[in-house]
Amino acid sequence: MSSSRKYAVAGLGVVAGPQPNHTRRQIAAEAVRRAILDAGLDREDIDGAIEVVRGAGAGERSAYADPFPRILALPVNFFFSVERGGALAGLGISAAMSFLDRGIAKYVALCGVVDDWTRAQETKAKGFRGMVHLEKEGAWGRALGDIRAFSHHSWMASRHMAEYGTTSRQLGAIAVAARAWACKNPEAKMYGRSMTLEDHQTSPLVVEPYHLLDICLISDGGIAFILTTAERARDLRKPPVYVLGQGFGEIERALWWEKKNYTHMAVKTAKEQAFGEAGLELNDVKCAQLYDCFTGEVLFQLEDYGWCNKGEGGPFVASGAIGPGGSIPVNTGGGLLSCYHLADLTGFAEAVRQLRGEAGERQVVACDIAMSTGHGGEMLSPGMCSIHSCTILGR
């Protein structure tokens, strides 16, 4: 049975930028406090809470046990964590909707937090680059130099280049588009720092084929939102943003014998389910927030969803299709590449703002339908980056 338009995002709370003086739990509590205020609710109204955690999705545990409901004294009847890399908002909403659907909760607070920027500063002095605190003990390739996400994600770009002739300059067009959007978003890390294709090409080759500017930011921050039923949302302070459809895909089985996730992502089922539930077509989407941990992931999704044919993503992005003024505005807040990296919460928050008409200089005209995707969650090496989530939101 369809859940389309039965549930809505009623409140959004964002803590952006470096937070060296705040713990993760403080960032979470503050983001949730802001989301409750944004909705025009009181803390006493929140009867359910879900923490969304970026993790491998298997065999690892949440990082801390003093959660935002305790700190904010929320009168919740349940609190738990949903954990998976890159598809946090998508999975968290799905969980929240089941509680709302059964009448167990009226207003569910969801929150995700990262403190990667602060942690990365601490470890830089020891000679490490990037997010050493996320190293997974069980990962296969560490002894072989598989140290960061792009140590294996870059294979996807390598394979796409070999199969379809995609070039680094074409990937660079994705980074340039993201930066152009970020320069219209005062909350973005790269606001005010414009970038050209030549800047991309001359940035250091970190893990070839990826230049530094193919790689997402390392960020601190928290994003929280309040999910409730459509009827309740209509009585609140902000215009409701309805969940129109959701879908999920996993590609772990196809990986081993069909080697699919090196030029594809698990979009097929996610797209069918989400657009089917919403009763919409791809060209109904006014802006797409596509998970962009690296430029290659954006290229794959543009092809897999069908904005262009498989293998033709390079020329498509090089034409300017995804930047300001393009045919499909993508990652309109700057994305993980140029805004900040809070997994799929970054794009989800941007979709909410676009639909509310709160996106300022970057506002997409007549934006009534937006989508936000999640991706990632390496379950084991090599490069088994399998999950994909698609959430369609609308006014």
Partner 1 sequence: MAGSDNVRIITAPYEKPLPNIDLDNEPFWDGLREHKFLLFKCKMCGAYYWPKAYCRFHENESFMGNLEWSEASGKGKVFAFNIHHWALHPGFKSDVPYVYALIQLDEGPLISSNVIDVDPKEVKVGMVVEIVFEDHPQEGFTLPKFTPAKG
User: What token pair was written down for 55?
Assistant: 């993790």
User: What token pair was written down for 20?
Assistant: 């060296």
147 binds partner 1 (CB under 8 A): yes
Task: Select the span of 93-101, 180-188, 321-329, 378-386 touching partner 1 (CB under 8 A).
Answer: 378-386
373 binds partner 1 (CB under 8 A): no
359 binds partner 1 (CB under 8 A): no
Task: Judge whether 69 and 50 are in contact, CB under 8 Å.
Answer: no
Minimum CB separation from partner 1 for residue 378, in Å?
Answer: 12
137 binds partner 1 (CB under 8 A): yes
124 binds partner 1 (CB under 8 A): no
Question: Could you tell me which of 333, 325, 285, 319 has the C-alpha nearest to residue 305?
Answer: 285
Place of tokens 């207003």: 107
294 binds partner 1 (CB under 8 A): no
216 binds partner 1 (CB under 8 A): no
385-394 and 369-378 beta bridge pairing: antiparallel
127 binds partner 1 (CB under 8 A): yes
Classified as helix, coil or strand, 275 is: helix
Task: Select the span of 79-87, 152-160, 308-316, 330-338 touching partner 1 (CB under 8 A).
Answer: 152-160
Residue whose CB is less far from partner 1, 133 or 159: 159
142 binds partner 1 (CB under 8 A): yes
User: What token pair was written down for 267?
Assistant: 């979009």
- What is the C-alpha to C-alpha distance for residues 332 and 180, in angstroms, rounded to an integer? 9
Per-position x/- string for 171-210, each x denoting binding to partner 1 as judged by CB under 8 A, each - no binding: ---------------------------------xxxxxxx
63 binds partner 1 (CB under 8 A): no
Q: What are phi and psi of 228, to 5 degrees?
A: -150, -175
User: What token pair was written down for 38?
Assistant: 């944004």
Place of tokens 């994003």: 223
User: What token pair was written down for 65?
Assistant: 């046990």
Task: Select the span of 26-34, 89-97, 250-258, 283-291 touching partner 1 (CB under 8 A).
Answer: 250-258
- Start-to-end C-alpha separation, the chain: 21
146 binds partner 1 (CB under 8 A): yes
DSSP category for residue 358 = -
User: What token pair was written down for 96?
Assistant: 């929240």
257 binds partner 1 (CB under 8 A): yes
Task: Judge whether 190 and 338 are in contact, CB under 8 Å.
Answer: yes
Minimum CB separation from partner 1 for residue 151, in Å?
Answer: 6
Among 63, 71, 139, 379, binds partner 1 (CB under 8 A): 139
Minimum CB separation from partner 1 for residue 157, in Å?
Answer: 8
58 binds partner 1 (CB under 8 A): no
Question: Could you tell me which of 163, 170, 181, 165 has the C-alpha nearest to residue 325?
Answer: 181
Among 140, 311, 312, 364, binds partner 1 (CB under 8 A): 140
Residue whose CB is less far from partner 1, 145 or 325: 145
Residue whose CB is less far from partner 1, 152 or 286: 152
User: What token pair was written down for 142?
Assistant: 């560490």
Among 130, 323, 333, 376, binds partner 1 (CB under 8 A): 130
Task: Select the span of 40-48, 107-115, 131-139, 387-395 touching partner 1 (CB under 8 A).
Answer: 131-139
92 binds partner 1 (CB under 8 A): no
Mapped to the 3 state alphabet, what secondary structure does 113-174 carry? EEEHHHHHHHHHCCCCCCCHHHCCCCCCCHHHCCCCCHHHHHHHHHHHHHHHCCCHHHHHHH
Residue whose CB is less far from partner 1, 140 or 191: 140
| Size of residue set near partner 1 by CB under 8 A | 45
Per-residue b or e along 336-349, where b marks 16 or more CB atoms closer than 10 Å to that residue's CB: bbbbbbbbbbbbbb
Give residues in contact with partner 1 (CB under 8 A): 126-130, 132, 135, 137-148, 150-152, 154-156, 158-159, 162, 204-210, 253, 255-257, 259, 262, 380-383
